[in-house]
Amino acid sequence: MHRKRGFARSVSFFMILTMMFMTMPLQTVCASMVETETVLSIAQAQNARENILNFLERKDVQEAMIAQGIDPIEAKARVDSLSNAEIMRIADKMDQLPAGSDGLGFLVGTALIVFLVLLFTDIAGYTDVFPFVKHRN
C-alpha cells in the first residue's frame, strides 16, 4: 500500500509540474523572411567593428591616444556604443585615409602649384617674379 502511494505521489508530482509548465504564458514567436542585404550588412558591420577595435589595441595607437589625452578604454567603450551605420562610415574613412603620411607630399604639391601659378602670371605679364622669363616691352 505504501509503495502504491509513493509511486502515485511521484507520478502526481511529475504530472503537476508538466501541467504547470504547459499552462504557463509563453511568448509567441513571429518568423519572417530576412533579406540577404540585411544579413550581409550586419556581418560587415561586425567585421568593421572588430577591425576598429583591433586598430585601437595597437600599442602605437594607444600611445598616440594617451599623448592626446584620450583614455584607450573609453575609446573602446565609445566604439562599442556606435551604431552599425556609424561603424561602417568610420571603417570606410579609415580605408581611404593615407597611412603614415608625414606631409612631405602635400608640401611639395603646394610648392609646385604656387610655382606654376607664379610662372603663368609672369609669362602673361601680370608679375615680374622670375628673371628667366623674357618680357616684351
Q: At what angle do helices 36-56 and 59-67 cross, to 10 degrees?
A: 70
Which amino acid is located at 114 in the chain? V
pLDDT at position 71 is: 87
pLDDT at position 8 is: 83
Does this model's pTM top 0.85? Answer: no
pLDDT at position 14 is: 86
pLDDT at position 93 is: 79
Q: What is the mean pLDDT of each run of 10 residues along the chain (137 residues)?
A: 78 85 73 81 86 87 84 86 84 68 73 88 83 73
pLDDT at position 24 is: 74
Query: CA torsion angle for 123, 129, 132, 134 (degrees, to 10)?
Result: 40
* Distance from C-alpha of 111 to C-alpha of 18, rounded to nearest angstrom: 84
pLDDT at position 101 is: 55
Long-range own/partner contacts, residues 103-112 (CB < 8 A, 24 or more apart): none
Which amino acid is located at 13 in the chain? F
C-alpha cell read off for 116: 606654376
* Distance from C-alpha of 33 to C-alpha of 87, rounded to nearest angstrom: 25
* Distance from C-alpha of 103 to C-alpha of 107, rounded to nearest angstrom: 6
